[in-house]
Structure 1
């Protein structure tokens, strides 16, 4: 942990102690478990905006901890949500990932990753940095005890052409089928003939940590956020079950991916 982060965690511990509350009681007052509070205070998991806001709101601090987190974020050029999520991703035992637009970042080829950043929004230097970071994150799937990754993709993800990039989608689909055959990776495809379903509301990821706690990531065109409020996680959990029920079983999904790969040749 860096000095600035240590300061924030120390302030959280001091605040709780000044209130005379145990971690269980403090967590209960803001809608979190005692183990969650302990993990934040010891640096096991980063404090999120929702967590800090819950403290500020319940204890009427005048947004003290929300501002503190914002100031900490300014010390790092990487967006706070991405730094937070990468930490959760590394600690996760299970990742449940629904994608409506792109192949999940952990399963992308380098060419595909670069294609997702095309369009002039990023400088060439930014593209190189983001792609390198994304490929580095994929290492969690190759470690000795990798997380279980369960990915559900809308079929349109596989069918969407990438202009001026011949062979790119063949390469990506073949890579996806190869990864999906590994025991710790499951890929399920929601076929096009399903029509409208709940997943069309947007992409999300749910990470389950070693202590059983769950945290989620959701984004849109303008922002991305880490969600860890229990009620919101429960809603996303229900959405996940409904979306996964629309998807093909594992073997059929792999066959669908291979079928689409052939269509790109």
Structure 2
């Protein structure tokens, strides 16, 4: 159940199971209403198959409950707009990420991730730790047996942004970046500071290639974000990806630069 933080996924599955039982529905009858086979329903309820947004929406249809479970997920944990991206991220055969201001979440250390999340001063310590645990759980995507090829382009300024009390965290983060970038399925490319103007300055975005070869994209902003699947919009982001990727350093040169910066922080 990698799509949602495990405690939340287990809770939602339990509630769906109870609602199905209360409605007197067998797994087969529930599956017909939800658009899934009885074996699929059994696997989700037994926690041997991932809980997806499609299944949650199907459960709402089968139980005719006006979207209760979809709203519950949005209220209790992951923002509803982000759930389709988690589905895409989990099943992707290739992931591409451009980040001009932060280390991508899938590559962050626990210390770096906590510092980033804590920037939102409206969050309680408990909320920070819950969001951090979710972020760390998502990183299993890059190390599983069927891990996608992950390509990240990050701005050099991201590596060098460290005041005195943040340098130890940043040194650890860059060390993790270089370690991960040595994996055969992960490439990290640095966009050097000397490239002062480029199309990526308008903001970060990610792209996922799905098993059916379709691409979807995700963009975040101050109010949340959006998942993009319209062909024209994805094509625009794909074109912008090619532009920023072409300005970035090759893989080996990027590793050398990251090691140079890491040395300067230690």
TM-score, normalised relative to structure 1: 0.74
CA distance in 1 between counterparts of 2:52 and 2:208 reads: 12
Question: Once the two structures are superposed, what CA deviation does each residue of 1:31-74 show, in whole Å capped at 9, x if it has no partner?
Answer: xxxxxxxxxxxx99756xxxxxxxxxxxxxxxxxxxx9976532
Name the SS of the counterpart of 1:218 in structure 2: strand
Distance 1:161 1:12, change over 3 A: same
Q: Could you tell me whether the CA contact under 8 Å between 1:188 and 1:247 is conserved in 2?
A: yes
**Stretch moving more, 153-162 or 128-137:** 153-162
CA-CA distance at 1:85 after TM superposition? 1.5
Aligned to 1:73: 70
Aligned to 1:102: 102
CA distance in 2 between counterparts of 1:199 and 1:183 reads: 26
Tell me if 1:249 matches 2:246: no
Aligned to 2:148: 147
Q: Could you tell me whether the CA contact under 8 Å between 1:114 and 1:127 is conserved in 2?
A: yes
Unaligned runs of 5+ in 2: 1-11, 20-28, 37-49, 55-64
Tell me if 1:234 matches 2:235: yes
CA-CA distance at 1:162 after TM superposition? 5.2
Q: Could you tell me whether the CA contact under 8 Å between 1:162 and 1:168 is conserved in 2?
A: no
Q: Could you tell me whether the CA contact under 8 Å between 2:167 and 2:265 is conserved in 1?
A: no
Q: How does 1:104-253 map to 2 (within 5 A)?
A: 104-119=104-119, 120-161=121-162, 164-253=165-254
Q: Could you tell me whether the CA contact under 8 Å between 1:73 and 1:79 is conserved in 2?
A: no
Aligned to 2:263: 262
Aligned to 1:33: none
CA distance in 2 between counterparts of 1:162 and 1:148 reads: 33
CA-CA distance at 1:11 after TM superposition? 8.5
Name the SS of the counterpart of 2:166 in structure 1: coil
CA distance in 1 between counterparts of 2:199 and 2:108 reads: 25
Q: Could you tell me whether the CA contact under 8 Å between 1:189 and 1:253 is conserved in 2?
A: yes
TM-score, normalised relative to structure 2: 0.73
Number of residue pairs the alignment of both structures matches = 215
CA distance in 1 between counterparts of 2:132 and 2:212 reads: 31
**Stretch moving more, 182-191 or 157-166:** 157-166
Unaligned runs of 5+ in 1: 14-42, 48-67
RMSD over aligned CA atoms reads: 2.7
CA-CA distance at 1:221 after TM superposition? 1.1
Moved beyond 4 Å, runs of 4+: 1-4, 9-13, 43-47, 68-72
Q: How does 1:16-55 map to 2 (within 5 A)?
A: 46=53
Name the SS of the counterpart of 2:189 in structure 1: strand
Q: Could you tell me whether the CA contact under 8 Å between 1:177 and 1:258 is conserved in 2?
A: yes
Distance 1:97 1:168, change over 3 A: same
